[in-house]
Structure 1
Amino acid sequence: MKKVLFASTALIATAGVAAADSGVNFSGYGRFGIGYQEDRGVSPTGIPVGTFVTNTNTFITAGGTVTTTTTSFSQTDISITGVTDSDVSDTILVSRFRLNIDGFTETDGGVRFEARVRLQADEDSSTGEANSAGLNGARFSVIYGGLRVDAGNVAGSFDNLANYYGNEVGLELFAGQYSGVNYNFLSYTSTGSGSNAVFFQYAVGDFAFGASYDTNDAFDADRWDISATYTFNNITAALAYGQTDGGDLFEDDPSLTVLTLGGEWGDFGGTLFVADDATEIDATDGTAWGLSASYNLGAATTLLFTYGDGNADADLQQVAIGAIYDLGGGASLRGGIGVNDCDICDGSQTVADFGAQFNF
């Protein structure tokens, strides 16, 4: 991470109070390589590109990505008919450039103020072409001792939960133990404005507590979540619960409960994941579960494994293995191969990628 400090006696004089520490940090990473996705014009769940999944606030796009929309919120089951965008090549050049810009200052009393924006450019997985870089919404933070409060484009309790994501596989992190979860929780947005919410976290000793809240005035909907984390020896246990009080948005109030366990034993690391994914929709409502593991082979090589699934018909099952080879200096070679499937899919889908990543 590079730190560039901007300070002068003139600035301090105008501010009136001299800060103990202030400046701007730049950090991030770049990655590029080859990505393969069988039948790229179809999402991993088998739902055709361009399909609106009603009452879940999602829109299916090519390459398996899901973007939020506010087009339809009536309750219905998911149906699969036809395939679109089938001319997209299964193998494309994948890439990402990410630059975090952090401004910070610290008062004489030890209160730290921070703000972050992120500049990011990714490939368009639906066309195989490159996208332009753009700034996301700002996040503001106040930190004092074990207390942290974030406002703006923030990550909620699930997005911050220890071992929620586990050991994801691939250069693009295309597979994870959480794949069976469909609830739309508050998360940090790298390429959009975000939800303009509030997140609170307090850590004391081996315990940490978190909570977040955001609202959608257009649909009279409130979304909130809480979490608790405890670390004992080399094992961390975390529990989180979140709910969307739908108002005009949902007929029922969907919720999510997640329990994670994670630990390290020498060269081996592993995580367990279980969730009650109460989406209140027949095709996605149910239990989700998963696990992941990492093993350090030595010689700068780490092997990865992840598995995720759920008991609902549209829950995405993912099984994948991968590896990371450390080149030193913050650079590495990464890749993986896996399979996507679900109960209502037309068939399984093979996914793989390989490339280089360098941190700065």
Structure 2
Amino acid sequence: MPQVFRNACFARPNGGIRLQLKRGGPLEDHLKSYEGNHMKKILLASTALIVSAGFASAEVVIGGDGYMGVAYGDNGNPIFATTDTSADQVPAGSGNNFSNYSFVYDLDVDFKASGTSDSGLTFGAAGDFDDLGASQGARGWDNSIFISGDFGTLTMGDIDGAAENVIGDLAGVGLSGLGDFNENIFLIGAGAQPAGPVARYDYAISGLTLSLGLSDDSGYNIGASYATDLFSVGLAYEDVADGATVTLFDIDALGSTGSTAITATAPNGASQIIGAASVTFANVTLKGVYGQIDVDGTTVDTFDQYGVSAAAAFGAASVSAFYRAVTTDFKVAGTPDNDFEAYGLGVAYDLGGGLALEAGVAQADSDRAANALTVADFGVSIDF
């Protein structure tokens, strides 16, 4: 099909539709070989493409990613719910059956649309088709819209905040993410501010990136990063609104049934300073992150997060690993501190065309979890 339409020129003068053929090209030769209904079918298909494409200057790209495979999980008990009544009941006698093994499957289809105004401004939108019907309206934010020019780029919606934009996460492992324990904690951004959309302004020049993020409840963050082919460094500051509930660590992520998240309600606001640095050599990237969250006016004394990761590529094969820790110290006498540690190892083999084999294993433990959580998975991933 791409060869057939290579020499076709489409136009919409005065709002109308016109199909103009350039003579002497592959399209003309192809059409000459068809008669009657064959030509009509091609012209009708061409017209449908023009109508669906919208303005000539707009571009819409549809893609997606997904995976399928099998996973293992254990935290002293199996963790995957099952309808198999012969499987273990957790807790015993509860009637709720769990297994150590489960199939894992996920598919996300997304779109990116962009266009150019008469004055040269670039504008567009991006999102996941799964979210199109959710939280839309005056405060809808499950997708994002942007406008860009010489002044920089302004984006609003379900996006990372400025801190996450310049700091990022540690290298991930596994087919399904295995709990995403490699991800750093940020106060403002997708998932951190469920009350509404995030607005972010970015300006990039000669390896330097400046970002400013705002939430619609008085939270803000600002960050800067500088990157070369050899190294990158980033530093960011975040501040959330008075009275915000900051989730310092969600114990439920360890699969400890009945536990609650460690949260802090900050009457005087909460803030974070976080920095990162990475170096790349011989197809190996090493990264380190350190952040400290201040939640004065709460029972939390200090809260720190830090970690390191490595990712290496060897032809079609790649290996990644991470170690990450979160420490929470409390002021109240008798309240035990909470230390969290997680580490993981992953391997992948690129089969080409967006298809890959992936496998990983991770373990996470917390002072307030009864047992360490061990998870592993293996399967195929797709990216199209």
Q: TM-score scaled to structure 1, two decimals?
A: 0.71
Say if 2:327 and 2:340, in contact at 8 Å, map to a contact too.
Answer: no
Compared with structure 1, are the counterparts of its residues 32 and 283 closer, same or farther at alpha carbon in structure 2 (3 Å cutoff)? farther
Range that drifts further, 278-287 or 321-330: 278-287
Counterparts of 2:234 and 2:180, CA distance in 1: 17
Bigger Rg, which one: 2
* Structure 2 partner of 1:186: 189
* Structure 2 partner of 1:206: 207
* Structure 2 partner of 1:33: 69
- Give the CA deviation at 1:335: 1.3
* Structure 2 partner of 1:22: 58
Please give the residue correspondences for 1:246-257 in structure 2 after superposition, counting only pairs within 5 Å: 246-247=242-243, 250-257=266-273
Match of 1:230 among 226, 229, 241: 226
Match of 2:377 among 335, 347, 353: 353
Compared with structure 1, are the counterparts of its residues 145 and 20 closer, same or farther at alpha carbon in structure 2 (3 Å cutoff)? farther
- Structure 2, unmatched stretches of 5+, are 3-9, 18-53, 82-90, 136-141, 246-265, 329-336
User: Number of matched residues?
Assistant: 295
- Give the CA deviation at 1:340: 0.5
Identity over the aligned pairs, expressed in percent? 19
- Structure 1, unmatched stretches of 5+, are 44-61, 64-81, 122-132, 217-221
- Larger RCO of the pair (alpha carbons < 8 Å, separation 6+): 1
* Structure 1 partner of 2:311: 294
Q: Which amino acid aligns with 1:200?
A: Y
Say if 2:239 and 2:271, in contact at 8 Å, map to a contact too.
Answer: yes
Q: Which amino acid aligns with 1:244?
A: V
- Give the CA deviation at 1:94: 1.4
Say if 2:163 and 2:186, in contact at 8 Å, map to a contact too.
Answer: no
Which SS does the other structure have where 2:98 is aligned? coil
- Give the CA deviation at 1:294: 1.2
Compared with structure 1, are the counterparts of its residues 256 and 9 closer, same or farther at alpha carbon in structure 2 (3 Å cutoff)? same
* Structure 2 partner of 1:57: none
Say if 1:151 and 1:199, in contact at 8 Å, map to a contact too.
Answer: yes
Q: Which amino acid aligns with 1:277?
A: I
Compared with structure 1, are the counterparts of its residues 329 and 314 closer, same or farther at alpha carbon in structure 2 (3 Å cutoff)? same
Q: Which amino acid aligns with 1:142?
A: I
* Structure 1 partner of 2:325: 309
Counterparts of 2:104 and 2:161, CA distance in 1: 28
Compared with structure 1, are the counterparts of its residues 38 and 158 closer, same or farther at alpha carbon in structure 2 (3 Å cutoff)? farther
Which SS does the other structure have where 2:99 is aligned? coil
Counterparts of 1:348 and 1:188, CA distance in 2: 25
Q: TM-score scaled to structure 2, two decimals?
A: 0.67
Report the RMSD for the aligned CA atoms in angstroms.
3.5
Match of 2:283 among 255, 267, 273: 267
Say if 1:188 and 1:194, in contact at 8 Å, map to a contact too.
Answer: no
- Give the CA deviation at 1:206: 1.9
